[in-house]
C-alpha cells in the first residue's frame, strides 16, 4: 500500500517568514495530493490540492509543488501569520482504483508574533 512520509514534525517560524513542509510518497500510481489544515480541537479541512498532471499550484499565500519523478510534494506558506498556526497534513490518493487517502503524520506549525 501507499506510504507517506512528512517532515518536519514541528516547525516554528516568526511572523512574516516562509514555511515549507515536505512529503514523500511510495506509490507511483498516486495522482492526487491534497493538503489539510487542522486547527486545535477542530476537524481537518482542505486548503489546497494538486493533481499529477500539474507541477505547481498557488492560492494567495500558499502553494504546492509536485515532483512526480522524485515522488515528493511540498507545501509553501509565505508571509506567515499567527492564524496559520495549526497542524498540517499531506495525503496521497489514487492507487489501483481504491482512492483511499493515506496521510502523513502531520506538521505542527507555530507562528510567533
Partner 1 sequence: NAGVTQTPKFQVLKTGQSMTLQCAQDMNHNSMYWYRQDPGMGLRLIYYSASEGTTDKGEVPNGYNVSRLNKREFSLRLESAAPSQTSVYFCAGEGSGNTEAFFGQGTRLTVV
Considering only 7, 58, 105, 112, the residue that binds partner 1 (CB under 8 A) is 105
Integer Cα distance of 86 and 91 in angstroms: 16
Integer Cα distance of 107 and 19 in angstroms: 11
Considering only 25, 37, 50, 104, the residue that binds partner 1 (CB under 8 A) is 104
Q: In terms of CB distance, is 68 or 103 closer to partner 1? A: 103
Integer Cα distance of 7 and 21 in angstroms: 6
Instruction: State which of positions 43-72 bind partner 1 (CB under 8 A).
Output: 43-46, 49, 51
6 touches partner 1 (CB under 8 A): yes
Give the other-Cβ count within 10 Å of 74's Cβ.
17
Considering only 71, 76, 102, 110, the residue that binds partner 1 (CB under 8 A) is 102
106 touches partner 1 (CB under 8 A): yes
**Cell numbers for 45:** 479541512
Candidate ranges 21-29, 55-63, 66-74, 96-104; the one touching partner 1 (CB under 8 A): 96-104
Give the other-Cβ count within 10 Å of 54's Cβ.
13
Amino acid at each position: 500500500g501507499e506510504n507517506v512520509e512528512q517532515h518536519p514534525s514541528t516547525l516554528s517560524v516568526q511572523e512574516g517568514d516562509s514555511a515549507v513542509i515536505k512529503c514523500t510518497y511510495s506509490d507511483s500510481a498516486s495522482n492526487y495530493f491534497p493538503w489539510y489544515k487542522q486547527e486545535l480541537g477542530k476537524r481537518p479541512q482542505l486548503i489546497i490540492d494538486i493533481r499529477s498532471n500539474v507541477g505547481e499550484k498557488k492560492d494567495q499565500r500558499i502553494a504546492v509543488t509536485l515532483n512526480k519523478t522524485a515522488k515528493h510534494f511540498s507545501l509553501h506558506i509565505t508571509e506567515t501569520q499567527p492564524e496559520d498556526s495549526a497542524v498540517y497534513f499531506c495525503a496521497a490518493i489514487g492507487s489501483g482504483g481504491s482512492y483511499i487517502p493515506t496521510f502523513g503524520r502531520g506538521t505542527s506549525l507555530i507562528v510567533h508574533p
